[in-house]
Amino acid sequence: MNLILLGAPGAGKGTQAEVICEALKIPTISTGNMLRAAVKNGTKSGLEAKGYMDSGKLVPDEVVIGILKDRIAEDDCKNGFILDGFPRTVPQAEALDSMGVTIDKVVEIYVPDEKIKQRLSGRRVCEGCGNSYHVDFKPTKVEGICDACGAKTVIRKDDEPATVESRLKIYHEQTAPLKGYYQAQGKLVTVEGQEEVKETSRLTLEAING
Ligand code: AP5
């Protein structure tokens, strides 16, 4: 099964991708995580992406489409995958179509902007493995230390309040039109993302299996 997770920054796409990955045994492809790894490793695409990411802007389509195309050609994607954070523009969705990729379902996780701002101000991410936590909703066992790898957890640079405002604006302008794009194909399902993490996961799996 090939799935797309759609939603505003901080709606919980990454959190739900982990649950779906475990339930369906298919890999998650997060363009955000791939780009952050590229920045960390100082690769050509990482150097190109860094400025856009730090200021909350979208990385140019051609860079992201190139990264995505290589990743879905890998062996572990043969039985399906979860796209977390791609596509984010209509040209990216069209590129996916022109690669001949069939998308089975697009799950939109809906959370209003005010709640998003509250969530992102409490998010902490692991410097080592990239795991994501929240100071209130998903705390680490030991404050400031990743449960999975023991490295330090930090605030993501693009989670500063002014950058979050800009990311939300870009989401509404450039990414939200994808809802209409996939609704026209009969693939869009919307899940209420304001519930507790467990309840959102139950609704998400129900939407995928239903
Ligand atoms: P990316 O990493 O994809 O960021 P994003 O879409 O802005 O999404 P986030 O990772 O911020 O949030 P999420 O929805 O995964 O939420 P999470 O589960 O962490 O992209 C980063 C940047 O890379 C972009 O700005 C852009 O520059 C670039 N980029 C990436 N893909 C691109 C593309 N295709 N084209 C162009 N540029 C691209 O949850 C958020 C917090 O809330 C966490 O702390 C979590 O613990 C908590 N939480 C989650 N669910 C709940 C719940 N139900 N209740 C309470 N708290 C919850």
**Which structural domains are found in the chain, ordered by start?**
2-26+79-112+166-209 (3.40.50.300)
CB distance 119 to ligand 1 below 6 Å: yes
Q: Give dist(CA 12, CA 85) in Å, integer.
A: 11
Q: How far is the CA of 159 from the centre of ligand 1 (A)?
A: 10
Which residues is 106 bridged to in the sheet? 4, 188
Assign 96 a pLDDT band (cuts: 50, 70, 90). very high
Quote the tokens at residue 121: 């101000």
Cβ atoms of 193 and 13 within 8 Å: the answer is no
What's the pLDDT at 195?
81
What's the pLDDT at 202?
96
179 has pLDDT over 90: yes
Q: What is the pLDDT of residues 39-94, one digit of tens each?
A: 999 999 999 999 999 999 999 999 999 999 999 999 999 999 999 999 999 999 99
Q: Give dist(CA 56, CA 99) in Å, integer.
A: 27
Average pLDDT over residues 123-151: 94
Average pLDDT over residues 89-107: 97
The share of the chain scoring above pLDDT 90, in percent, equals 96
Residue (of 139, 121, 114) closest to 197 by Cα position = 139
Q: How far is the CA of 93 from the centre of ligand 1 (A)?
A: 18
Residue 5 CA: nearest ligand 1 atom is 14
What's the pLDDT at 115?
95
210 has pLDDT over 90: no
Cβ atoms of 204 and 191 within 8 Å: the answer is yes
CB distance 163 to ligand 1 below 6 Å: no
Average pLDDT over residues 139-156: 96
Q: Give dist(CA 22, CA 175) in Å, integer.
A: 27
What's the pLDDT at 81?
98
Which residue numbers are catalytic? 13, 88, 123, 156, 167
CB distance 3 to ligand 1 below 6 Å: no
Mean of the per-residue pLDDT values of the chain: 95
Q: Give dist(CA 15, CA 24) in Å, integer.
A: 15
Cβ atoms of 129 and 148 within 8 Å: the answer is yes
Residue with tokens 């993501």, as numbered in its chain: 156
